Amino acid sequence: MTEHGDRAAFLARIRDRQGAPGAGGPHPPPPPPDPVPAVGYRSLDGLEPADPTALLPVFVAALRAAEATLDVVDGEPSDDLLRSLVEAYEVRSAVTSAEPEAVALGERLRGLGVEVGPYDREAAAAADLAVTSANQGVAATGSLVVDSATAGSRAVSLLPTVHLCVLPLDRLVAAPSDVLRPQQRPMPSARVVITGPSRTGDIEQRLTLGAHGPVALHVIVTC
C-alpha cells in the first residue's frame, strides 16, 4: 500500500479555502510573474554563459569562497599533482564512484600506492579519499552536481574524509538555474548540488569544516 490517510478529505479541506487573497492591507501581493525570473549573479556580468573557458575564473573564485581548493590542468593530471594531493591529505585508502573519470583516476592513485576500491558503505566510511566526477559544475556558486545514478551511490562523495572531484571543463555551466531548471528525466533517486566541504557554524558561529561529510573538497578541472 503506497498511500495512507484520506487524500480526498485532506485536499477538499484545502480546496475549500485556497486561492482567497491574503492580507489586502497596505502591502498587496503582486501577481505571479511569468516567466519566473532567475537569480542573476553579478560575477557573470559580461560573460558568454555557454563558454566554459570564460566561466572558469568565476568558478575558481566561487569554489575558493566556498572553502574548496582546486587545480586546473591541461589534459590529465600529472603524477606529481596526484602525489602532492596524496601527501597533503595523507591518503592511504580511497573509494571511487562508478563514473569512468573517477575509475580512471582511481587506477592512477593505485599506481601511487593508494589502496583503491569501488564504493561500499564500510569501505567508504573508513576511506581517506572519495574520488568522483560530476554531471556539471556551476560557475557562479562554485557548485558540483553529483547524482546517485551516474555515481552509483548516494554517499560515495559523503563518507570519506576528503572528496576529490575531477571535472571536465566542458561541463561548466553559468548559474544554479542552468542545472535546477532543466532537470533531466527520469530523475535519479538522489541528486546533490555540492557547494564546498561539509560545515557547521553551530558552536559560537565559528565556521568549522567537516561536520559530518568531507572536511575538504578538492576539484581538478581538466581542460
Partner 1 sequence: MTAEWPLRGSTLRERTATAVADPVLRANVGAATDRFRAKRASAMARVHDPDGLRSAARGVRAGILADWAATLEQLVDNLQANGGQVCWAPTAADANAYIASVARRIGARTVVKSKSMATEETGLNEALAAVGADVVETDLGEWIIQLAEEHPSHIIAPAVHKNRHQIADTFQDRAGMVERVTEPTELVAFARRELRRRFLEADLGITGANLGVAETGSIVLVTNEGNARMVTSMPRVHIAVMGAERVARTWDEADLVLGLLAKSGTGQSLSSYTTVISGPRGEGEADGPDELHLVILDNGRSDIAGTEFAEMLNCIRCGACLNVCPVYRQTGGHAYGWVYSGPMGAVLTPLLAGTAVHDHPDGAGHDHHAGELANASSLCGACMEACPVEIPLQDLLLGLRRRNAEHAGRAERALWRAWSEAWSRPGAFAASGSVAGRTRRLAPLLARLPGARRWAGGRAMPDLPARTFRQRWDAGEV
Specify the residue, 82 or 151, whose C-beta has the smaller distance to partner 1: 151
Cα(126)–Cα(160) distance, integer angstroms: 7
C-beta of 59: minimal distance to partner 1 in Å?
12
Specify the residue, 36 or 74, whose C-beta has the smaller distance to partner 1: 36
Q: Does 148 bind partner 1 (CB under 8 A)?
A: yes
C-beta of 186: minimal distance to partner 1 in Å?
8
C-beta of 18: minimal distance to partner 1 in Å?
4
Applying CB under 8 A, the span of 9-17, 48-56, 73-81, 101-109 interacting with partner 1 comes to 9-17
Pairing of β 199-200 and β 208-209: antiparallel
The position carrying cell 557573470 is: 44
Residues 202 to 221 in contact with partner 1, rule: CB under 8 A: 202-206, 208, 210-214
Residues 76 to 95 in contact with partner 1, rule: CB under 8 A: none
Q: Does 74 bind partner 1 (CB under 8 A)?
A: no
Coil/strand/helix, residue 147: strand
- In terms of phi and psi (left: phi > 0; alpha: psi -120 to 50; beta: otherwise), the region of 113 is left
Coil/strand/helix, residue 61: helix
Cα(43)–Cα(47) distance, integer angstroms: 9
CB 221 within 8 A of CB 177: no
Specify the residue, 82 or 175, whose C-beta has the smaller distance to partner 1: 175
